[in-house]
Amino acid sequence: MSRGSLAKWSVKPYLYILPMVVIFGVFSVYPMLRTVFLSFMETNAIATQMQFVGLGNYSDMTSDRHFWSVVGNTAIYGFSQVILTLGLGLLFAAVANSNMVKFRTLFRLSAFYPYVLPIAVAAMVWIYLYNPSRGAINLLLDHRIQWLNSYDYALLALIIVSVWKSLGFSFLLILAGMQNISKEYYEAAALETNNHVKRYFMLTLPMLMPTLFVVCLLCVTSSFQSMDLVAIMTQGGPGHSSNVLMYYIYQEGIINRRLGYGSAMSTIFLLVLVAFTIVYLKFGERRVEYER
């Protein structure tokens, strides 16, 4: 490095970001590395006594029948939420961006409101709605369903609440993407066809791909890390029929005091999410190219 470049170099800009780097290291990097370290250990509840077991915690996952059941539930829960949230978000955004609704501002607020509602409040509202004897949902049906206490319906009940809660996020981003499309494109498309549905799939949807790409990635990562609704509404029951991986990690690592096993599951879960994100971003580079 020359003297001129040394004279221009200053430590001052790096001092501005130092607090954020320290906070990120203490609250993100260190816990992650600590979790990986504990995954190779057999420890007590507070990790004061440790015994190295190598890959023992990882091998326990292969013989844990509850683990594979929970993985299946997590996949169903996550992908169902993503598909339904994106699909309904596209539908709601198309309606809100058109002249089909008179009170568009009220419609947008109604669609977005569940997203800002505290998760505990939303869960309690739906617990009341799912009540087998007094709930509004069962009052509309011919027979009473034990929504939260049934092996067949508990996971479905959680998916419905999760989609209702997260729909406002995708709706808002997709609506913003739609409103960012220039009207000139629609004027040009109107010369080719007057069919609104055809115009939507020919113009609107392709130009929304960058927005949908981001929304889908955020929905996937958030849905697979969700555990709050499960903890409040079903606690993973009955049995493990509505349990998801994040809550199972909490049960095994904290409640059952198997910190090493919980850390091993967390490490595998982290690697899966990182691998998915890398692959998704790799394919996401093939974005729609617009003619200029």
Which residues of the chain fall below pLDDT 50? 288-292
The pLDDT of residue 284 is 67
| E-state strands within the chain | 41-43, 50-52
The pLDDT of residue 24 is 93
Per-residue pLDDT tens over the stretch 220-245: 888 887 889 999 999 998 989 999 99
The pLDDT of residue 8 is 61
The pLDDT of residue 291 is 40
Q: What is the pTM of this model?
A: 0.86
Per-residue pLDDT tens over the stretch 45-76: 777 788 899 999 999 999 998 999 999 999 99
Strand partners, 161: none
Query: In the chain, what are the domain boundaries?
Result: 65-284
3-state secondary structure at position 277: helix
The pLDDT of residue 231 is 93
The pLDDT of residue 86 is 92
Question: Domain 65-284 is of which CATH architecture?
Answer: Orthogonal Bundle (1.10)
